[in-house]
Amino acid sequence: MAEVARIWAGRYGCGEIATPIFEFTEVFQRTLGETSDVVTKEMYTFEDRGGDRVTLRPEYTAGIIRAVISGGLANQLPLRYFAAGPVFRYERPQKGRLRQFHQIDVEFLGSADPSVDVEVIALAADILDALGVRGKTTLEINSLGDAASRAAYRECLVAYFTEHRDALSEDGQVRLVCNPLRILDSKDEGDRALIVGAPLMADSLNAESAAFFANVCAGLDRLGVPFSVNQRLVRGLDYYTHTAFEFSTSALGTQGAVIAGGRYDGLVEAMGGPPMPGIGWAGGIERLALLMEALPAAPRPIALVPVGAAGEDQALALAHQLRRAGFAIELGFSGNLKNRMKRADKIGARAAILLGEDELSRGVATVRDLDSGEQREIGLDDLTTDLACFRG
């Protein structure tokens, strides 16, 4: 799955980036927020031998932004990155959510144009389509507006929820003081009942923000990416702006988010870097695997079966040549012809190349199709071309 995502990200101009498995804790505290569930409840944080507090990577964005700032990459904009690997969060293991899980991640940095939002969402849709699961997901989008719109909306939310403070959950009351937008993410039933009557973000959008969102919607329409607007979809941290989006499914119970992201034009500056617009998303590989009817099968190998001392001498070099040409080659170093052919059957080999003294003297190899039983001789110089029908 990660390889499919990597290929598609490359088509959109993404270079791959690898970030450390652990970072200084403040990297995530500054980006995820001191009061976020990830920071307060889910991060694996510990003190190293030097007395520094470090944290196992709970997500990719913060580490990538830290790398851009510390690596002096801000003068090379625009930047597009793809990353994949393990992330860690302490929470109750459940379907599609483990304490060590794996993410694919995409970050586009350096452009504030709404067409970039369209592209980053389209990339996610293309990956889901390539994996055969796009039809099992729905895309919801919303606008969080610019800083002014967001501030206006925050005031409306504070006024509304303050009137209903006593009905809020304990977490909701804390969020009302620290970050009222995060109340909209609450799973508490009492909070959910209050959210139904809460003000809508659309009513606080200024003209510029409304136009930005309209351009994003129009761009998705032009690309044929279906979506619905969910005005309760938010990203709770202050540096998120404009587009928020989520591909979700009903096939995994309550763990419905498959790929989610948003625009974060204030993040780089919040981390001590220069003002730099950005947008990105992350997707959980385990959840994607649960959606797939069958995981992609590994390529069936081709068994290289040397016969006699002459064949043994040439087999290693030939196997190396064919592997470099893109074939999966199984080469055994012991056993007679019968046992090696049994091994080829056991591993599900697609074909077998028989390489003996007689074949070598004539510059050929005997290739047996292990599905049909058909057998023919192929010139050694033509093997790479003629074996193409067995690739994969």
- Split at pLDDT 50, 70, 90, the class of 243 is very high
What is the pLDDT averaged over residues 118-136?
95
Measured distance CA(71)–CA(68) in Å, rounded: 5
Average pLDDT for residues 199-217, to the nearest whole number?
95
Angle at CA of residue 109, ends 104 and 113, nearest 5°: 115
Q: What is the pLDDT of residue 261?
A: 94
Confidence label for 156 from pLDDT (cuts 50, 70 and 90) = very high
Average pLDDT of the residues of the chain: 88
Are 213 and 201 a contacting pair, CB within 8 Å? Answer: no
Q: How far apart are CA 239 and CA 264, in angstroms?
A: 5
Q: How far apart are CA 344 and CA 371, in angstroms?
A: 12
Band (14; pLDDT cuts 50, 70, 90)? very high
3-state SS record for 255-286: CCEEEEEEECCCHHHHCCCCCCCEEEEEEEHH
Which domains are delineated in the chain?
2-146+206-291 (3.30.930.10), 302-390 (3.40.50.800)
Which segment of 51-60, 114-123, 274-283, 326-335 scores lowest on mean pLDDT? Answer: 326-335
Cα dihedral sign for 8, 9, 14, 15?
negative
pLDDT of residue 343: 87
pLDDT at 95: 66
Which strands form 53-56's sheet, in the order they lie side by side? 22-24, 53-56, 45-47
Greater confidence, 172 or 215? 215
Tokens of 257: 């988010």
- Summarize pLDDT for 247-270 with one digit per residue, the tens: 999 887 766 889 999 999 988 998
Q: For residue range 280-315, what is the model confidence (pLDDT) as tens digits?
A: 999 999 989 888 876 666 788 999 988 888 778 888
Q: Give the confidence band of 34 by pLDDT, cuts at 50, 70, 90.
A: low
Residues forming a β-bridge with 279 = 108, 263
- Helix and strand numbers (H, E) in the chain are 15, 16
The C-alpha atoms of residue 368 and residue 122 are separated, in whole angstroms, by 44
The yes-or-no verdict on residue 105 having pLDDT over 70 is: yes
